[in-house]
Amino acid sequence: MDSIKFGTSGWRAIVAEDFTVQNVRIVSQGIAQYLRQQKIGQQGMLIGYDARFLGERFAKVVAEVMAAHGIPCLLCDRDTPTPTISYHVINRKLAGGINISASHNPPEWNGIKFTPDWGGPALPETTKAIELRILPLLHGEHLKWLPWERAQNDGMVRYFDPQADYLKALEKLVDRDRIRNGQIRVIFDPLFGTTRNYLDEFLRGAGAKMAILHHWRDPYFGGFRPEPTDKTLQELKDTVSKERAHLGLATDGDGDRFGVVDADGTFIQANLILAVLLDYLIKSRQWTGAVARSVATTHLIDAVAAHHSLSVHETPVGFKFIGELLAKGEIVFGGEESAGLSIKGHVPEKDGILAGALVAEMVAFTGKTIQALLKDLFERVGVLQSTREDLTISEHMREQVKSIIDQPPTTFAGEEVTQVNKLDGCKWLLPDGSWYLIRPSGTEPIVRCYAEAKTLKRLEEIMQAGRDLLQISKT
């Protein structure tokens, strides 16, 4: 490899191609050197892994490298959610945390998520500094690691159970009495991932009646990518409807994303969950101040915030930017359309476990389905429909996308473009309240296309106008 680059949430690669023991050592040493340069390595690291193939082995490789650089490690005793690692980094005042995880990527992928000492995803200036340290290591600079037995015997690595303290912390954020009094029935699907015995144990302890799907570790994730989508949650949808449950909840492979199914088996889009949950939390917690969303996330958040006299921060895509605002105490709520959420008083990292518990509280306390809650919300703040398409593009088309971003159209989908936003990709807003955003991927031959409008018909018109502009047919 000529270089190793961190994306929006760490470094990811295909196992046995680029994700190898050697490259994990290289990335780990780059992080270790960064921590030593920051003079915080002695505070120690927390190392975890998700349910993927060889997760334990790669986690030990990281610990061996850290030990050789004089950085003590706590190694999670089983596959562990990313937000749980973030919690302990903050709570134990550690130098940082590493989770061996490719999150929602297909099972043949793995990755390294680095959490700095402030508890959120590493910011671009941090990952750039680490990438600079990685370069000479890729070209032959000496690597150091201690053999596993020696690292243990020297006391540099200790096993650690992170679950109990993290679940205890959730009790301060979620009203368990409301869940208990609501007597709700919940079906939970961890998608074979890290949240087994996390969200289900918390809700069961709060009095919810629970049934669990896929509650065992499977490195192949049942043949799907471990992402809670309408497609991957078909069994959850069927089970919720058949068992007449009040709610279906799911999380992704490392527990930082959420999925929600309503009582009739309908999958509810993450954008809608963010808006309806924000409305509930503002009312139930008497929140004031500001909230944040990424540039690709629904403007329903803006409408809810305005309805309750809160302001809105718009960030680039990547929860690290929202996490930074949470860490600074500048917002009470942050959300991303890719099913990411956290709130004040919690970790500055997206947390699908917290999100699921808060949705359960909302349904239990209101006694309403999510679709009924959305109907009420739309009557108060207006209706917005949103969607997203990921389109594969050639190298030639990549240049075409760059040209569109450099010189966006002045009219689009039959309307004059009233505002152009280049915070991340290129987003143009239209007079009827609709908008369209294109974002080329930095690591894949893909352009991500987002849109929002007041009706489904108008939404499709906007998406088709985008395809026409990009000269790509819908498949």
Residue 442 has pLDDT above 80, yes or no: no
Least confident of 66-75, 155-164, 442-451: 442-451
Strands 340-343 and 411-412: unpaired
Measured CA to CA, the distance from residue 192 to residue 455 in angstroms comes to 36
H/E stretch holding 463:
helix 456-470
pLDDT in tens, 324-363: 999 999 999 999 999 999 999 999 999 999 999 999 999 9
Number of other CB atoms surrounding residue 168 within 10 Å: 10
pLDDT in tens, 40-68: 989 999 999 999 999 999 999 999 999 99
Residue 260 has pLDDT above 60, yes or no: yes
Mean pLDDT of all residues in 102-124: 96
Q: Which of 133, 165, 197 is the last residue of a domain?
A: 165
Report which of residues 472 and 78 the model is more confident about.
78
Does some domain include residue 3?
Answer: no
- How confident is the model at residue 131, as a pLDDT? 96
Domain of 117 in residue numbering reads as 11-165
- How confident is the model at residue 474, as a pLDDT? 62
**Are both 140 and 184 inside the same structural domain?**
no
| Nearest Cα to Cα of residue 248 among 134, 369, 338, 331 | 369
Query: Per DSSP, which regions of 321-421 are E strands?
Result: 333-336, 340-343, 385-392, 411-412, 415-416, 419-421
Does some domain include residue 266?
Answer: yes
Assign 209 a pLDDT band (cuts: 50, 70, 90).
Answer: very high
- How confident is the model at residue 443, as a pLDDT? 64
Tokens encoding 34: 């960064």
- How confident is the model at residue 149, as a pLDDT? 96
The domain that holds 403 is classified in CATH as 3.30.310.50
Contact 252, 104 (CB under 8 A): yes
Task: Output the average pLDDT for the chain.
Answer: 96
Q: Which of 335, 365, 381 is the last residue of a domain?
A: 381
Assign 471 a pLDDT band (cuts: 50, 70, 90).
Answer: confident
Assign 290 a pLDDT band (cuts: 50, 70, 90).
Answer: very high
| Nearest Cα to Cα of residue 41 among 49, 29, 33, 52 | 33
**Are both 408 and 285 inside the same structural domain?**
no
Instruction: Find how far residue 343's CA is from the centre of its chain.
Output: 14
**Are both 208 and 353 inside the same structural domain?**
yes
pLDDT in tens, 123-155: 999 999 999 999 999 999 999 999 999 999 999
- How confident is the model at residue 475, as a pLDDT? 53
The radius of gyration of the chain's CA atoms, rounded to the nearest angstrom, is: 22
Mean pLDDT of all residues in 224-251: 97
**Are both 370 and 414 inside the same structural domain?**
no
Residue 8 has pLDDT above 80, yes or no: no
| Nearest Cα to Cα of residue 178 among 363, 427, 374, 311 | 363
Percent of the chain scoring above 90 in pLDDT: 93
- How confident is the model at residue 70, as a pLDDT? 97
Strands 209-212 and 247-251: unpaired
- How confident is the model at residue 7, as a pLDDT? 84
Report which of residues 306 and 472 the model is more confident about.
306
**Are both 189 and 103 inside the same structural domain?**
no
Sign for the CA dihedral angle at 33, 34, 37, 42 comes to negative
Burial track 401-410 (b if 16+ CB lie within 10 A, e otherwise): beebbeebee
**Are both 250 and 336 inside the same structural domain?**
yes
**Are both 291 and 415 inside the same structural domain?**
no
- How confident is the model at residue 208, as a pLDDT? 98
Measured CA to CA, the distance from residue 188 to residue 195 in angstroms comes to 10
**Are both 461 and 362 inside the same structural domain?**
no
Does some domain include residue 228?
Answer: yes
One DSSP character per residue, 245-303 reads -SEEEEE-TTSS-EEEE-TTS-EE-HHHHHHHHHHHHHHHHT--SEEEEETTS-THHHH
Number of domains in the chain: 3
Q: Which of 125, 150, 165 is the last residue of a domain?
A: 165
Assign 398 a pLDDT band (cuts: 50, 70, 90).
Answer: confident
**Are both 46 and 181 inside the same structural domain?**
no
Number of other CB atoms surrounding residue 134 within 10 Å: 27
3-class SS of residue 49: strand
H/E stretch holding 314:
strand 311-315
- How confident is the model at residue 473, as a pLDDT? 62
pLDDT in tens, 174-186: 999 999 999 999 9
Q: pTM for the whole thing?
A: 0.96
The domain that holds 138 is classified in CATH as 3.40.120.10
**Are both 175 and 150 inside the same structural domain?**
no
**Are both 453 and 306 inside the same structural domain?**
no
H/E stretch holding 461:
helix 456-470
**Are both 374 and 267 inside the same structural domain?**
yes
